[in-house]
Amino acid sequence: MKKILYLFLLPAFLNAQNTPDGADILRKVDKNMISKTSISTSQMVVHGRRGSRTITSKSYQKGEVNSFSEYLSPAREKGTKMLKLDDRLWIYSPSTDRTIQLSGHMLRQSVMGSDLSYEDMMEDRKLEEVYNAKVVGEDTIGGRKTWVLELSAKVDDATYEKRKEWIDKERYIPLKEELFAKSGELLKRVLLSDVEKIDGRWYPKKMNYKDMLKDGEGTDFIVDEITFDTDIPDYIFNKASLKQ
């Protein structure tokens, strides 16, 4: 009788042994997605009701809290710069030659009409630090096998209390993310694709952000070039650099 029971439980046991720990998966994802520094050139394609707009920018990022971006095109946005230091964000507009600090409701407004708000762009903590993860299943996204993880916040100040992640089983890159409110309402969905190996790490070069409460097709974020762990001088992350 015992042997028969073991025979039934064995597949479940083997399956459990093959399923990695949620925290391990998050650690590997963070290793791919978060770097000490990065310099990138990217396009943001905003799909609106009257067509799409593409905004290109060059960004410098250092650690989890500092970043600097300069818009390169279109001509109307060219020269606009954005500096983020800790939880503060400044924007410099060349047309007015003014720097303004964004706060409160302004941070909740969308960046150039996209599905990303300024405060979305300020979210950059490691998943492992913020969430407990549980593998709840497997799925296939774009032909890639994925672990499906349910994340629940382990800190009080997580922006999204719950998340659902579809993580590539081999490359440890999220291919899909769903971000939920405390009430369980789905707020955002991110689709990640065009995964390439860059500087020894897997990285998705295309991301589609969709504010699920808004109409539309969302916003594509396409990385044209990116380098990781390059030295970036400190003066870049300074308010003075906004007017240079």
Partner 1 sequence: MTANSKISTRSEPPRGAITRLAFHLAYKNLMGAGLRTWLSVGILSFVFVLIIFYQGYVEGFYQNSIDENIAWEYGGGQLLYKDYDPYDAFTLQDGHGKIPATDTKDLVPILIRQASIYPQGRLMPVLVKGIEVAQNTVKLPTQLLQQSSAEYPVIIGKRMAASVNLKKGDQVMLRWRDKNGSFDAGNVTIAGIFDTDVPNVDIGQIWMPLKKLWAMTDMKGQATLFIANNNYEQKNLPKWKFKTQDELLTGIRALEKMDKITGVIIYLVLLAIAMLAVFDTQVLSIFRRQQEIGTYISLGMTRKQVLGLFTAEGCMHSILGVLVGFIYGVPIFIYFTRQGIGTPAAVDNLGISAGKRIFPDFSPELIIGTAVLIIVSTTIVSFLPARKIAKMNPVDALKGKLQ
Q: What whole-number distance in Å separates Cα of residue 41 and Cα of residue 54?
A: 13
Question: How far is the C-alpha of 2 from the C-alpha of 87, rounded, in Å?
Answer: 59
Considering only residues 167 through 196, tell me which ones interact with partner 1, judged by CB under 8 A. 179, 181-183, 185, 187
Report the chain's terminal Cα–Cα distance, integer Å: 79
**Subset of 83-102 contacting partner 1 (CB under 8 A):** 101
Q: What is the per-residue binding string for partner 1 in 122-161, x denoting contact by CB under 8 A?
A: -------------------------------x--xxxxxx
Give the residue with the Cβ less far from partner 1, 109 or 230: 109
Q: Are 72 and 56 in contact (CB under 8 A)?
A: yes
Question: Rg of the chain's alpha carbons, rounded to an integer?
Answer: 20
Closest approach, Cβ 195 to partner 1, in A, equals 28
What is the Cα 25 distance to its own chain's centre?
A: 16
Q: Does 64 bind partner 1 (CB under 8 A)?
A: no
- Find, among 136, 144, 142, 194, the residue nearest to 165 by Cα: 136
CB of 116 to partner 1, least distance (A): 11
Residues near partner 1 (CB under 8 A) are 101, 103-106, 108-110, 117, 153, 156-161, 179, 181-183, 185, 187, 211, 213-216
